[in-house]
Structures are given as structure tokens and as C-alpha cells.
Amino acid sequence: MKIKKQLEQKDNNTKNTRREFLKKGVLAGVGTILAGGIVTSFNATASGKTVNVLGPDGKVKTVAKEHLKDIGKKTEAQLQKAGREGIPNRRWVMVIDLGKCKNDQRCMEACQTHHQLWTSKDGKGDKVQHHINVHELKRNEKSGGFFMPKTCQHCDNPPCTKVCPVDATYKRDDGIVLIDNLRCIGCRFCVAACPYSARVFNWHNPKDEEKYADKKYNVELNVPQKRGTVTKCVFSADRLREGELPYCVSACGNGVFWFGDENEDAVTNGTTKETVRLSKLLKDNAAYTLMPELATRPRVYYLPEKDRIFPFESKKKEGDVNHHA
């Protein structure tokens, strides 16, 4: 666990108390973790080779080496199974602070890099794919414009998973909506059903296909991408499994993204690494979700762009239309 995320607990007027957030939960769940290994037994064996590991009680223990299972090398079947099950006891949530976004698009770049997506820089003008996109919007004629990063909303009542004929796209217990590129038949019904235009399709051969040719398919990363299937934001489930923040969240330099666990009621800022109470953040900042009239119940919250920290400069040309505010 590289990052220790801290929770700032501002209890009324008393001074801050801190406690461990992500790290603690992950450790408690598995028992013992060391350098990507899981202890399968604490009995010593014949080979005599041992390693020291940190136990759940906080004490160092010595275990036989062969009882350390390497979780870095999961088989594809194991990855698929884990990808269906989700991360226990978690309810992932994202909060996006619109007042801080200045359309740097570093989130988009990081996302495209890690998810093997075509970008506008690949010199192929007709192939651009986004899991996260930054929109330029205006709430009405008179109000100022703002930039809105938009991921998959990971709805609790997702219209996309309902319509999938083969259960290729599904909702996990930890709140993430995933898509299994090995099962998807490419009917694009989910694309039609998603009101947020969050889903993209692999119309062409995926970018750098040869480079990824012998990589194991990881459903939590959607990589290697498969032609003829749908792909979309997965909340960087592969990173979450390692106790890290999603790629886009860590890439932003402006403090736009908060990410965390609803069960713990804590979210961590990707830029400042500050951890706060989710409920308080939402309550104090008039948080809202996109298109609530559809009752999709998104897991992504937005904080309105009041008190922008950057002056807004439109990137749009005359005549562009906003269909929705």
C-alpha cells in the first residue's frame, strides 16, 4: 500500500481526528498482504524457506514461502471471476467539483493511455475513444459556461445492464458497472440505452493491438481491448483492487476529483490526497447527479461550478449547440 489516505473527521467544533481509510479496509479483508502475496497457511513446511509478513493483528509473522500465493499472476479465469465478484464491502463513489475543472484533459489522457484507447493524437482522425470526456456546458443562456468531466455514472439503476442480452455488462456489489469484452456480442443495445453517452465501441482494431497480443484479458481494466465489443469507464477497478485511486482521479492536477467508499463515508481528493466525509461534502456543496429525472441513481456526484477558481474560456466555435445543461 503506497498511499496512506487519511480521513479528516471534522466533528462539530472539536479538533480533527484522523484514521486510516482505504489501507485499513483492504488489509482487514485479506488477512495478510505483502508485496502482492496472500498467505494460504501459517504452518512451516519441508522446504524450510520462510518469509516475514505483517499479520492482521499488526504483528510480524514468519511463514513458509510456498504458502504465499502470488496474486500478481492470476489466471484469466481468476481475473474473470474476481471481476464479477467485486471488491468486498465497498460502495465506490466519485464526486466531481465543477468549480475546479479548467479543461486540462489530463484525466482523459491518463484514461486513454491505460485503457488502450485511440486518441486524437494517434494521427487517425476518425478514431477517438473516451471513457472519460470533458464537456463544455452552459446551464442556460444567462449563466456562465463550465467544464464537466463525464465518466460512466455507474448508476445503481443502470439502463444499460438491463438491456444486455448476454449479461456481458453487469453491475457489481461494489457499485461498479463493468463490461466483459470476452462475452459481449457487440449488439450496441447498451450504447443506445445509456442516456449519458458513456459507452464507446471498438469499431476498429484496438490501438497497439500487437503490443497487447499476449496480455491476459483483465475485465477490471478492459484491456486488451477487443474489436467489435463495447468498452467504457470501469472506475479503474484494477487500481481500486490494489488500493489505489483511479487513473483519471490521480492524473488531475486541479483537485477536481474526489473518490472513495460510500460505506466508509469517506472520499479522497486525487490531487491533494485530502480525505473528507462524503456525506458532508455532498451536503455542504449542493451536490447533484446527472439527469435525476431518469431515476438511474448515478454513483457520480457533481458539485456545482459556483466560485470557479479559473476564469471560464470557451473552446467552442460559434454555432455549436448544447443539447443539455
Partner 1 sequence: MSEKKSLNKIVTDLTKPIKNHRWFMLWILFLLSVMGFGLFGWITQLTEGLGSTALTDYISWGLYISGFIFFVATALIGMLISSVLGLLGIKWITPIARIAELIAVGFAMWAGLIIVFDMGRPERLLNVFIHGRLQSPITWDVTVVMTYVTISILLYLLPLIPDMPFLKKTMTDAPKWKQKIYSILSFGWVGSPEQYKIIKRSIKVLAVLIIPVALAIHTVTSWLFAMTPRIGWDSTIFGPYYVTGAFVAGGAAVMIAMYVFSRTYNLKEYITDFHFDKMGKLLVLLMLVYLYFNINEYIVPGYKMKQGDDIHILNLFVGHNAKLFWSVQICGMILPLILFLFKRMRKPLPAMIISIAIVIGAFFKRYIITVPTLEHPAFPADNVPAEYLIYWPNWVEWSITMMAIAGAILIVTILAKLFPIMPIWEVAHEEGITNEEMNEFEV
| Contact code string over 116-135 relative to partner 1, x by CB under 8 A | ----x----xxxxxx--xxx
Do 245 and 233 meet the contact criterion of CB atoms below 8 Å apart?
A: no
d(CA 74, CA 66): 16
Q: Where are the beta strands (DSSP E) in 144-196?
A: 145-150, 169-171, 177-179
The nearest distance, CB 278 to ligand SF4, in angstroms, is 30
| Contact code string over 216-235 relative to ligand SF4, x by CB under 6 A | --------------x-----
Q: Which does 162 bind (CB under 5 to 8 A by kind): partner 1, ligand SF4, none?
A: partner 1
The nearest distance, CB 233 to ligand SF4, in angstroms, is 14
- Complex with partner 1: residue 307 or 320, whichever CB lies closer: 320
Q: Where are the beta strands (DSSP E) in 65-168?
A: 68-70, 92-97, 133-138, 145-150
214 burial (CB, 10 Å; 0-12 / 13-18 / 19+) is exposed
Subset of 217-256 contacting partner 1 (CB under 8 A): 226-230
Q: Which does 15 bind (CB under 5 to 8 A by kind): ligand SF4, partner 1, none?
A: none
d(CA 184, CA 246): 24
Beta bridge partners of 275: 268
Identified binder of ligand SF4 from the candidate list 22, 53, 64, 179, rule CB under 6 A: 179
Spatial strand order of the sheet with 68-70 comes to: 33-34, 37-39, 68-70
- Complex with partner 1: residue 26 or 191, whichever CB lies closer: 191
d(CA 267, CA 204): 37
Identified binder of ligand SF4 from the candidate list 168, 237, 251, 276, rule CB under 6 A: 168
**Ramachandran quadrant class, 324 (left: phi over 0; alpha: psi -120 to 50; beta: rest):** beta
Contacts of 269 (CB under 8 A, 6+ apart): 255, 257, 258, 275, 276
- Residue listed under C-alpha cell 487513473: 247
Q: Which does 54 bind (CB under 5 to 8 A by kind): partner 1, ligand SF4, none?
A: none
Identified binder of ligand SF4 from the candidate list 61, 137, 189, 209, rule CB under 6 A: 189
- Complex with partner 1: residue 24 or 138, whichever CB lies closer: 138
- Among the listed ranges 79-87, 109-117, 160-168, 265-273, the one in contact with ligand SF4 (CB under 6 A) is 160-168
Alpha helix (H) ranges present in 165-231?
A: 189-193
- Complex with partner 1: residue 23 or 127, whichever CB lies closer: 127
Residues lying near partner 1 in the complex (CB under 8 A): 105, 108, 120, 125-130, 133-137, 150, 159, 162-168, 183-189, 191-193, 195-197, 199-205, 226-230, 291, 294, 320-324
Interacting residues toward ligand SF4 by CB under 6 A? 163-166, 168-169, 179, 184-190, 230
